[in-house]
Amino acid sequence: MINTVLATGYLFDNQFEKAKAVYLENMAAGIRSDRSFSEVVLDDFKHLEEAGVTHPDIEKIKALLTAEGEAK
């Protein structure tokens, strides 16, 4: 779980490459038995956007996580 917060922190601190590295390194990992790292991150993004918290690089990370998930 800490890696989801770390990566999002990097993202919102405009450190895209660091955030991307953490997302890529952890996206195959499971958070719980029923949810993957990618699912948790995408859900977190949804909640942030619903609360009005946005960042232009969120769309890049969404595309990355979605594309990698589809490739599996």
pLDDT tens for each residue of the chain, 72 residues long: 788 899 999 999 999 999 999 999 887 666 666 778 888 899 999 999 999 999 999 999 999 988 855 544
In single-letter form, the type of residue at position 52 comes to G
* Residue in the structure block whose two tokens are 């490739």: 71
Would you state the pLDDT for residue 55? 96
The residue among 14, 40, 17, 8 whose CA lies nearest residue 27 is 40
Would you state the pLDDT for residue 72? 42
Please give the helix or strand (H or E) that residue 8 lies within, else none: helix 2-12
Look at strands 35-36 and 30-32 and give their pairing: antiparallel
* Residue in the structure block whose two tokens are 């977190």: 44
From the CA atom positions of the chain, what is the Rg in Å?
Answer: 11
